[in-house]
Chains A and B, each alone.
Chain A
Amino acid sequence: MTQPLLKIENVSKRFTRMPGLAERLVGRLTGGGKPVVVHALSDVSFDVARGEVVGIVGESGCGKSTLGRVVSGIYAPSDGRVVLDGKPVAHERGGNVEKLTTRVQMIHQDPFASLNPRMKVGETVAEGPRHHGIIPRGEVQARVRALIEKVGLEGAYADRLPHQFSGGQRQRIAIARALAMDPELLVLDEAVASLDVSIQAQVLNLFMELRRDLGLTALFISHDLSVVRHVCDRVAIMYLGRLVELAPADVLYSDPKHPYTRALFASVPTVGSGKREFEAIKGEIPSPINPPPGCAFHPRCPLAGPRCRVEVPKLAGAGASRTVACHLNDGGVELKDKAA
């Protein structure tokens, strides 16, 4: 295969909150008052090929949105680097980063918050490409109209304000804004999660159609397993800031390997099975401020052994272009038998 469009190399992201003056003073006496570090991403690596859509799935707080923001250059990674087309994105300072991050565009979850309420939507779409000279000046108006039509709205809507549109229409405008920058990579952060199901389907169909027409590459961040299956070529499962499993969608859905992936799938309701008990994952997702040692999933894992409590499992190949981070896999232990 040729060079991947996006390479994420050992990316970690930590957020540090320094204690305030008063807290530090109290800390002097009580021994507290130290900086609080949140480990949002720990040592995440994977590639995305040109034209591929990779789904990122996980519970709230697993770091999937942080990953999206690191890739789109909003956050700089604490360790590691993000390489777009052979050039590092979020590590450089200054104008170079700007030029590179124009090639990654993000679509946010809530279309009611992601459009400037006091800016006409046509201007919202036109602003970025005009500033970066992506569209020649004389053609901006025509291009904006064409884009707005491309996402399924009337070109004349360019003169309206966001509050005159429904949620689905706003999300189409957000897509038009991203496309206006001629991006090579789209990051969709829960892009349909806040829409009604019928509208979700429309927006997803629009995305699939655009993908076919424009050959888009995308990171599709979601917690909705069925949507991800519908849209993505490969799926990455994240837990507590780490990648636990990455596999082609059909492989993953037919035969999940990691105990966490299995637990996730077990909690998806299915049609036709009648009433049944959901096998909820026991316990709560641990705090990323103080993640458990060893495999982060071990306190909730039904199969955890002594090794899981001390050693962090590496992401390793497990056949069929799949990688899993679980000790049960490299020992040649057949997971299926034990899980039953």
Chain B
Amino acid sequence: MADSATTTGGTLAVPAAPPAETRAMRLRNFWSDYRQSWVALAALAVIVALAIGAFGAPFLVPQDPYDLANLDWMDAFLTPGEVGTGGYVHLLGTDNAGRDMLSAILYGLRTSFVIGLSAGALALAIGITVGLTAAYFGGRIEALLMRVVDLQLSMPAILLALVLVAVLGQGVFQIILALVVAQYAYFARTTHGAATVERRKDYIEAARSTPLPTRRVLFSHLLPNVLPPLIVVATVQVASAISLEATLSFLGVGLPLTEPSLGTLISNGFKYIHAGRYWLSIYPGIFLMFTVVAINLVGDQVRTILDPRNSR
């Protein structure tokens, strides 16, 4: 059977294809492209550092800000660098309840990360399903799904999230739900746009005429080919989920102070800013800013690499 190549191919032997591109090689290529920008490298380093700080918080900071027994009224409003009753330095000062700000920020950052990532992942899953379904089936289903998406995108996400939180009440779960509802539309539209292009290609028809079940055509043929733009949108949406959550908390409808996120901390400190106690608001604000900007920069670099016009 091996010699059929020569018989069917006439005099031409089949030219050897280049060596198979392994996953490891693709990853290495991606990394060498990523390294081209030092800004993106720095942003990635910031994210890694913040993530280590946030998820390692219980081992890194002197105080569990959730545990009211650890708080001492005597320590209220200590300026950054002062030593409190616990005998350790409060690097970023303390708040009105004697909470160590650095501890509260890192714990809050953890909450922000968890909310941002889980809302982003859930919204991604729902958005992909909606977008693929609409693009694949077309007709009335597409019209219905995408008009709902358009409707949602026509109003600010913050407004929608505010209304939902007002209805659902406070808490981590409620916030995540509100963010998912507010954000899935971005994923749905991106997926839909890419999928309507891919859907018309012959490999989809080939899969359908084999025939393979619709679920398989959607998720193992259509989805992998619309993924690149989605990765970019996903990074940006995680950043926006974090800042949306912070905004909601700042407005007082997000997380309660007993379970602080960065937004709650900023909101709490806001009252004291005119009294000169700037550290209550400024430091969580700086952490929030670094987080959001760094995630956006990473997303930007990923987009540059995945852009097909940016040939290697």
Contacts and interface: CB of A to CB of B under 8 A. Distances in A.
B42 to A, nearest CB: 32
B20 A164 contact: yes
A174 B202 CA distance: 11
Given A115-B203, A165-B17, A152 B5 contact: yes
A290 interface: no
Contacts of B205: 74, 106, 108, 114
A8 to B, nearest CB: 17
A152 B14 contact: yes
Given A113-B203, A150-B4, A202-B9, A105 B210 contact: yes
Contacts of A114: 201-203, 205-206
A206 B2 CA distance: 13
B212 interface: yes
Of B7, B12, B203, which is in contact with the most chain A CB atoms at under 10 Å from its CB? B203
Interface string A98-113: 1001101110111001
A3 interface: no
A128 B21 contact: no
Interface in B205-261: 205-213, 216, 220-221, 224-225
B4 A152 contact: yes
Interface string A162-203: 001110010000100100010000000000000000100110
Contacts of A113: 201-203
A302 B203 CA distance: 42
A275 interface: no
B18 A164 contact: yes
B5 to A, nearest CB: 4
A161 B210 contact: no
B276 interface: no
Nearest to A174: B206
Interface in B174-210: 201-203, 205-210
B8 interface: yes
B87 interface: no
A102 B210 contact: yes
Contacts, number: 106
Contact of A152 (B9, B17, B18, B207): B9
B15 interface: yes
A110 B206 CA distance: 11
Interface string A136-162: 000000000010011111100101110
A126 B7 CA distance: 25
Given A116-B221, A166-B15, A202 B8 contact: yes
Contacts of A174: 206
Contacts of B207: 116, 127
A198 to B, nearest CB: 7
Contacts of A159: 20
Of B15, B17, B225, which is in contact with the most chain A CB atoms at under 10 Å from its CB? B17
A74 to B, nearest CB: 5
B8 A72 contact: no
A165 B17 CA distance: 6
A205 interface: yes
A118 interface: yes
Contacts of A118: 224-225
B10 A119 contact: no
A108 B207 CA distance: 12
A102 B9 contact: no
A55 interface: no
A160 B20 contact: yes
B8 A101 contact: no
Interface in A231-262: none
A90 B206 CA distance: 16
Contacts of B220: 119, 127
Interface string B5-48: 10111101011011011000000000000000000000000000
Given A108-B202, A152-B9, A101 B1 contact: no
A23 to B, nearest CB: 15
Closest 10 CB pairs of A and B: A114-B202, A152-B5, A206-B8, A118-B224, A128-B210, A113-B202, A108-B202, A116-B203, A164-B17, A160-B20
6 contacts: A98-B211, A105-B210, A108-B205, A153-B5, A164-B21, A202-B8
Given A74-B205, A127-B212, 8 more contacts: A73-B211, A152-B5, A152-B9, A165-B17, A169-B17, A174-B206, A201-B10, A206-B9
